[in-house]
Amino acid sequence: MKILQTRVENLIGLRKLLRNRYSQELVIEPKDIAVSPTDEAFLAKLEMVLDEHLSDPRFNAEVFCRKLDMSRMQLHRKLLAYTGLSTTAFIRSQRLKQALQILKTSDASVSEIAYAVGFNTPSYFIKCFKEVYQKTPTEYVQATNR
């Protein structure tokens, strides 16, 4: 019984580490956290699908599920376990993280960045960006250039 309890505690701890890492990073890599080969395969496929489709404004939870060959609930449960986010929130967070990288490394306009990362309108992009980073993209650039 003690062995089972220890294994469960280790699994829970691992999931917490994974959730912390994937909620903060743009690139999804297991790195130094030991994950099962099944999880590694899932994460590799997840990253590949994101790389290919994140900039497409039509890329949504339904398309994501289809590309990963998973049901909507199956993907929802996996992403919730890894990141604490729903599928839609995960896609949005990845778009915002990618936008932040572009903001830091280029002189592209806010509109160009919004469209480049898959948002349909710059106004919605600005709203989402401000919710996460507490500044508009323009304010963020101005604050980091000081």
What are the per-10-residue average pLDDT scores of the chain (146 residues)? 72 59 51 67 89 94 95 93 90 94 91 94 96 94 82
Coil, strand or helix: which one is 63? helix
Domain with CATH 1.10.10.60 in the chain: 93-144
pTM of the model as a whole: 0.76
Q: Is the dihedral of CA 92, 93, 96, 98 positive or negative?
A: negative
Rg (the chain; Cα; Å): 17
- Are 101 and 109 contacting, i.e. CB atoms less than 8 angstroms apart? no
pLDDT of 40: 82
Q: Domain 93-144, what fold?
A: Arc Repressor Mutant, subunit A (1.10.10)
pLDDT of 20: 58
pLDDT of 30: 47
Question: Which residues are within 8 A (CB) of 57 and not within 5 positions of it... i.e. 6 or more apart?
Answer: 115, 118, 119, 120
pLDDT of 15: 58
